[in-house]
Amino acid sequence: MVRVLIADDHDVVREGIKGILNEAGIDVVGEAANAGQLLQLTASVPFDVVILDLGLPDASGMQVLTKLKQQAARVIVYSAYPEEKFGARAILGGARGFVSKDQSPEDLIKAVRAVSRGVRFVSPAVADQLLWDTEINDQPHNKLSRREKQVFQLLGEGRSVTEISQILGISFKTVSTYRSRILEKMKMSNNAELISYYMRHLEEVSALAQS
Residue (of 13, 12, 10) closest to 108 by Cα position: 13
Kindly tell me if the per-residue pLDDT of 115 is higher than 80: yes
pLDDT score recorded for residue 155: 92
pLDDT score recorded for residue 16: 97
Give the rounded percent of residues in the chain with a pLDDT score beyond 70.
86
pLDDT-wise least confident of 13-22, 117-126, 137-146: 137-146
CA–CA distance, 21 with 161 (Å, rounded to integer): 64
Please, what's the b/e burial string for 167-195 (b: 16 or more CB within 10 A of its CB; e: otherwise)?
ebebeeebbeebbebbbebbebeebeebe
Name beta bridge partners: 121.
97
pLDDT score recorded for residue 135: 47
CA–CA distance, 37 with 122 (Å, rounded to integer): 27
Q: Output 202 or 10, whichever has higher pLDDT.
A: 10
pLDDT score recorded for residue 128: 60
Do 140 and 194 touch, CB atoms closer than 8 A?
Answer: no
Mean of pLDDT values over 110-127? 86
Most confident of 2-6, 51-55, 101-105, 138-142: 2-6
The residues near 37 (Cβ < 8 Å, ≥ 6 apart) are 7
Q: Output 178 or 88, whichever has higher pLDDT.
A: 178
Mean of pLDDT values over 22-31? 98
Give the rounded percent of residues in the chain with a pLDDT score beyond 90.
58
The string of DSSP letters for 48-84 reads SEEEE-TT-TTS-HHHHHHHHHHTT--EEEEESS-HH
Tell me the one-letter amino acid at 154: L
CA–CA distance, 73 with 52 (Å, rounded to integer): 11
What domains are defined for the chain? 3-124 (3.40.50.2300), 140-210 (1.10.10.10)
Say how many CA atoms lie within 13 Å of 8 toward its Cβ: 19
pLDDT in tens, 162-191: 999 999 999 999 999 999 999 998 889 899
Q: 94: left (phi > 0), else alpha (psi -120 to 50), else beta?
A: left
Kindly tell me if the per-residue pLDDT of 83 is higher than 80: no
Average pLDDT over the chain, rounded to an integer: 87
Kindly tell me if the per-residue pLDDT of 122 is higher than 60: yes
pTM of the model: 0.62
